[in-house]
Each structure stands twice: as C-alpha cells, then as structure tokens.
Amino acid sequence: MMWQDAVFLCGSVFSLVVLVPTLRDSMANVPLGTALPSASIGFVYGAAFFTLGMTMSALGSLLTGLMWSLIAALRSPHPYNPTTGSESASTDASAGSSANAQPHAD
C-alpha cells in the first residue's frame, strides 16, 4: 500500500465515522439533493481509485457511497420513505392551525 492510499482511506474512514450518527438518528432529515450526489461521488471515486490500483481507498470510497445511499433511503424525505409520510405532515399542519389554538391566560 502506498502512502496516498492510506491517506485517502483515513479520509473515508473519518467520513464513515461522522455519518454513523446521522444514519442512527431516526429524526435526522437529510435532503436528497445532498445525499444522492454525495453517494454518487463516493461510487465514482471508488471506481477511479480501483482503476489506479488503490484498493483500500477504493473500498473506503465505495463504503462512503453506500453510507450516503443508506442515508438517502432512510433519512431523506421522499414518498417511499416509511419514516416521513404524509401522516406526519398533516399532523404538523393541524398543530399550527388557529382552529386548535388555546386562548392565552394574560
């Protein structure tokens, strides 16, 4: 392993460690406009590193792309995500309406 391979691997491992709390937090809400490009970059970098013979860097980048893909699937608002459905949106909308407002005790 050349030293550049180790440097890129360390960067990928750091990214993975930083992204784990986002994946574990059920309240996290990451836009698809952030998660999908980041996942794509991870996969493209992984392929590029692999063609350069930097297999450890390639593995780290591919795992980072996989992590961003999981975040896109599980922590991004979209119609197929079971954790962000229209049910929660309607609950939030009704909570802010004036029809349900309680009078102030001034």
pTM (2 decimals)?
A: 0.72
Q: pLDDT class for 1, splitting at 50, 70, 90? A: confident
| Whether the Cβ atoms of residue 49 and residue 57 lie closer than 8 Å to each other | yes
Give yes or no for residue 92 having a pLDDT over 50.
no
